Amino acid sequence: MAYDDQNIFAKILRGELPAIKVYEDDQVLAFMDIMPQADGHTLVIPKSPAETLMDLDPKAATYTIQIVQKVAKAIEKALDAKGIVLMQLSGAAAGQTVPHVHFHLIPSSVHDLGKHAVQMGDQEKIKALAEKIKAAL
């Protein structure tokens, strides 16, 4: 399917919508999920326009996963996470709600995850968690 450049993450990338950012370079952005499934739920997205993992250029995928690892290490350190769930939903049939490819990093157990994209988190708490993660990067 053609990439929809009006999706929420495309707007965040263009600076048209706010985000609580923890990491950014010329190819990748990492920011806090506003409806976290656990404290510290972070999203890592490539800047290239791709809807699903299958659409993503392999070189962009390779670079993005390196940043996923970097951010995961920061979450582990900053939040003393004992485990991190890495989740990637490709396609509405898998539950993907934002059509720009992204990787979820959720410091939690798969058995304890909150509901997906349902409940808005406390913005001040999310900002404080973001500061901790940023400091550990």
For ligand AMP, the binding residue among 60, 117, 136, 137 (CB under 6 A) is 117
For ligand AMP, the binding residue among 42, 48, 96, 108 (CB under 6 A) is 96
User: Please, what is the Cα angle at 14 between 44 and 70, to 5 degrees?
Assistant: 20
Catalytic residue among 41, 100, 102, 104: 102
For ligand AMP, the binding residue among 16, 59, 95, 135 (CB under 6 A) is 95
Cα-based torsion angle of the residue sequence 118, 60, 5, 7 in order, rounded to the nearest 10 degrees? 0
DSSP code, position 37: S
List the one residue out of 68, 84, 70 whose CA is nearest residue 136: 70
Let me know if 111 is a catalytic residue.
no
Binding-site string for ligand AMP from residue 9 to residue 48, where x marks contact by CB under 6 A and - marks none? --------x-x-------------xxx-------------
Residue 53 as a binder of ligand AMP (CB under 6 A): the answer is no
Work out whether the CA dihedral 40, 35, 124, 113 comes out positive or negative: negative
User: Please, what is the Cα angle at 111 between 108 and 114, to 5 degrees?
Assistant: 65
Residues at the site binding ligand AMP, with contacts judged by CB under 6 A = 8, 17, 19, 33-35, 89, 95-98, 117
Q: Which sequence positions are flagged as catalytic? A: 102
